Structure 1
Amino acid sequence: MGILLVAGAIVSEVAATLALRASHGLTRLAPSVLVVVGYGLAFVLLAQALKSLNVGPVYAVWSGVGTVGAFAGGVLLFGESVRPATVIGVALVVLGVAVMYLGGGMEH
């Protein structure tokens, strides 16, 4: 159940981050509301997940997968550029998350 809560937190955080880009500095109402609701839901779900999961690996997964998701969403939704350095950075984030996940144990 904890992993599903983390997955929901990741989806909520990525949606909120992409809405933040679409909000044009929080000047557009609908995306701004999605920012507040999305981040709020992400933190509630993450807090619930941390009742049964270890904070270090969970935070690594949440922030790392969220980073990759925001990058992919920026490329797909906003036409942001993909450069070799960004691809290498994404690969390093994924590698780092994998190491944290495998080395830290998720459940306490």
Structure 2
Amino acid sequence: MNAWGLLAAAIAAELVATASLKASAGFSRLLPSVMVVLGYGVSFWLLGLTVKKLEISTVYAIWSGAGTALMAVIGWWLFKESLTPLKLASIALIVAGVVGLNLSGGGHA
């Protein structure tokens, strides 16, 4: 798998882990708690593989920014959390920042 595919998989694993964190109810439910540990473990392993091929500043910004933006949408969709105009504007700023980092040439290490 190429570096960008690894990064996408790392983001997906982090999203599963974070959504499971909410579902674990403070680690009082077994299956979601296991998903938290596995999801974050897989995500960090994939990040480790990704930073062998791409600059860590770009990788971390994309991983954390995309994860934050997507988790806000997932929180709204799955957990009925609010998605206010200010949250939407903030998500747009995160996406703009990630795009800016990619356009800055933050590719291969």
TM-score under structure 2 length normalisation: 0.96
CA distance in 1, matches of 2:90, 2:105: 22
- CA distance, structure 1, for counterparts of residue 92 and residue 99 of structure 2: 11
Q: 5+ unaligned residues in a row in structure 1: which ranges?
A: none
Instruction: Report the equivalent of 1:100.
Output: 101
- Whichever residue aligns with residue 13 of structure 2, its letter is S
Conservation of the 8 A alpha-carbon contact between 1:56 and 1:104: no
Structure 2, unaligned stretches of length 5 or more?
none
Distance 2:31 2:24 in 1: 8
Distance 1:104 1:39 in 2: 28
Please tell me the residue identity of whatever aligns with 1:66.
Answer: G
Matched residues, percent identical? Answer: 44
**TM-score, normalising length from structure 1?**
0.96
C-alpha contact 1:10 1:62 (8 A) present in aligned 2: yes
Specify the alignment match of 2:11 in structure 1: 10
Measured on the aligned residues, the alpha-carbon RMSD in Å equals: 0.8
Structure 2 residue 82 is matched with structure 1 residue 68: no
Give the Cα separation in 1 of the matches to 2:107 and 2:61. Answer: 11
Give me the whole-angstrom Cα distance separating, in 1, the residues matched to 2:105 and 2:21: 32
1:106, distance to aligned residue in structure 2 (A): 1.4
> What do residues 5-54 of structure 1 show as CA deviations (whole Å, max 9, x unaligned)?
00000000011000001111111100000000000000000000111110
Number of aligned residue pairs: give it: 108
